[in-house]
């Protein structure tokens, strides 16, 4: 008997003698537990890429039926290049070794230098391509994360926009809800 079958046999017995009869007697309970499991899996997924504060923000926003909208424009302050949080393979980066793994897979990330951690425990970076005038050294070929700044997920990682930034991230009522209200009149 190999290690896989040694592990599989007890699991199969648990299924046969415990789970299956339990399911047959308590389908509603099992269905409820499966729903709870799916919700917990979603929360764990959010926590891997968000902070606890961000999770609370997300849940609060969803309970009120809101979504995020990014408005405004770049004011060329350069702050977004000096206080950067980066996302890696398993969410926002908290450990140096995770950053080095991402930089090994994406050499363009080597332009970022670790400057410390923010109040949520995420690594904070600065971009070495920022000129003293506050512009990107290669603006036309900047990374997607720079081109797409600010990302809505910033709000869920517990972050805020830098002071002087020309953008706003606002919670708004989805336009589809306004349309649904109009159609129901």
Domain boundaries, the chain: 3-49, 67-176
Residue partners of 115: CB distance under 8 A and separation at least 6? 82, 83, 124, 125, 126
- pLDDT at residue 6 above 80? no
What are 24-45's pLDDT values in tens digits?
A: 667 777 777 777 777 777 766 6
Task: Go through 78-94 and write b for each residue having 16 or more CB atoms within 10 A of its CB, e for each that does not.
Answer: bbbbebbbbebeebbbb
Q: pLDDT at position 5, please?
A: 42
ω into 59 cis (within 30 of 0)? no
- pLDDT at residue 96 above 80? yes
CA–chain centroid gap for 169, Å, is 15
What are 127-162's pLDDT values in tens digits?
A: 999 998 888 998 898 899 899 899 888 887 767 788
């Amino acid at each position: 008997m190999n290690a896989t079958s040694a592990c599989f046999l007890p699991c199969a017995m648990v299924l046969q003698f415990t789970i299956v009869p339990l399911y047959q007697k308590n389908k509603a309970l099992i269905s409820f537990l499966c729903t709870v499991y799916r919700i917990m899996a979603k929360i764990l997924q959010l926590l891997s890429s968000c902070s606890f504060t961000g999770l609370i923000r997300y849940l609060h926003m969803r309970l009120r039926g809101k979504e995020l909208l990014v408005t405004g424009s770049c004011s060329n302050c350069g702050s977004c290049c000096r206080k950067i949080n980066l996302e890696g393979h398993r969410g926002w980066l908290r450990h140096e070794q995770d950053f080095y793994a991402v930089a090994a897979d994406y050499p363009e990330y080597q332009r970022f230098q670790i400057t410390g951690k923010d109040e949520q425990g995420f690594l904070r970076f600065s971009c070495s391509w920022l000129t003293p005038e506050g512009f990107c050294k290669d603006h036309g070929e900047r990374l997607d994360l720079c081109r797409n700044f600010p990302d809505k997920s910033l709000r869920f990682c517990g972050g805020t926009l830098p002071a002087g930034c020309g953008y706003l991230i606002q919670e708004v009522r989805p336009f589809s809800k306004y349309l649904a209200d109009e159609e129901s009149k």
